[in-house]
Amino acid sequence: MTIFQKIINREIPASIVHEDDLCLAFRDVNPQAPVHVLLIPKKPIVSLDHLTPDDATLCGHLLQMVPKVAALLGLEGGYRTVINTGVHGGQSVFHLHIHILGGRPLDWPPG
């Protein structure tokens, strides 16, 4: 079980900013920007590489929630989304998650 599943199950506390039947958004404990939130599906999916055709509706929901969560966080000037996939992609928790970062101008390239 991942740390994210433990947050979903309320076994570990988190600063939750949004929750619905399909997903949960909470503040990152190691923020890389003034605003750094993780949006995760409640369904345990390891990464983008593990999506199936049955996950299409869930993925659409997650993407539609990104601007709603960003608005809740006051990110009117823009924000960045990041999905790390696999070890070489920088993924450290193997539960699909979207980073939503903002609150300052973000440079490019990121890494």
- pLDDT tens per residue, range 33-62: 999 999 999 999 999 999 999 999 999 999
- Average pLDDT, stretch 74-96? 96
Taken as a whole, the chain contains a residue count of 111
User: Which amino acid type is present at position 24?
Assistant: L
DSSP 7-65: HHTTSS---EEEE-SSEEEEE-SS-SSSEEEEEEESS----GGG--GGGHHHHHHHHHH
Domain boundaries, the chain: 3-102
Residue that is written with structure tokens 């070489």 in the block: 88
Does residue 97 have an active-site annotation? yes
Catalytic residue among 36, 95, 97, 99: 97
- pTM assigned to the model: 0.94
> Please, what is the average pLDDT of the chain?
96
Pick the CATH number of 3-102 from 3.30.428.10, 3.30.70.1560, 3.40.50.300, 3.10.310.30: 3.30.428.10
- Average pLDDT, stretch 55-74? 98
